[in-house]
Amino acid sequence: MQTKQQKREDDSLIFGLRPIIEAVRAGKELDKLLVQSGLKGELFSELMGVLKQYNVVFQYVPVEKLNHLTTKNHQGAVGYISSINYKKIKNILPNIIASGKAPLLLILDRITDVRNFGAIVRTAECSGVNAIIIPTHGAAQINADAIKTSAGAVHNISICREDNMKATIDFLKDCGVNIVACTEKATDHYFQIDFTVSTAIIMGSEEDGVLNEYLQKSDAKAKIPLMGKIASLNVSVAAGIILYEAVSQRLLN
């Protein structure tokens, strides 16, 4: 018997070259698009043209991968329609600044576990984060699991999906936003950082932390002291600690 979660995920699944072409043209956002390697033909060429026109990111995969996702005639293309409408930080940051409050932003660098992502979004919404920034590649899919874990918070906070994270960080710095990277390589503890100013906090991948190139662009680096034998915290727990330090400082300021 099909579960409610499976039904929701089936509802987000889209397959077939023509349906995907028309969905993109209709303005539907895709969380993920997989295209069969070596695919050819007139309709495939039309799909490629549409994806280029609308700047849709896709990934080539073997046909076996697509066959695993659906037993129906996918024609070499399977995608997932996004549950939310993504935004661009350059379009919303001016309004955040104009509100008169120092922006509090969260950058998630390759957080791929959907439950971690959902938990972080929930905490971010509760702590007053203005926007969450994720990369187009290498981010968790916002599926039923992510939505459930976030307690619906994904619908109540701006989530910005950006193609070029380095350029996005540069844009934030140009706008006067202080970039704080959370890393065990830091010398300062998180409570030594000033979060009362305009701030974007970078939380890194579950596997290898914040990318070096982002660390180099950061204005400050912060670590959480670990007093036990375990060498690291779950990223969603770490995000909660850092975000509520920012809340504490801002309430006392």
Question: Which domains are present in the chain?
Answer: 4-81 (3.30.1330.30), 89-252 (3.40.1280.10)
Residue 145 token pair: 């699991």
**What are residue 8's phi and psi, to 5 degrees?**
-65, -40
Cα–Cα distance, 40 to 44 (Å, whole number): 6
Task: Give the N- to C-terminal CA distance of the chain in Å, as an integer.
Answer: 55
Burial class (CB in 10 A: 0-12, 13-18, 19+), 117: buried
The pLDDT score that the predictor gives to residue 10 is: 58
Q: How many residues does the chain have?
A: 253
The pLDDT score that the predictor gives to residue 11 is: 61
Helix 42-53 × helix 17-25 angle, to 10°: 20
* Residue among 48, 68, 66 at smallest CA distance from 58: 48
Q: How many beta carbons lie within 10 A of that of residue 163, not counting itself?
A: 12
The pLDDT score that the predictor gives to residue 5 is: 42
Provide the 3-class DSSP secondary structure of residue 149. helix
Residues of the chain with pLDDT under 70: 1-11
Asked whether 136 and 161 are in contact (CB, 8 A), the reply is yes
Considering the entire predicted model, what is its pTM?
Answer: 0.84
Strand-strand pairing, 13-15 and 77-81? antiparallel
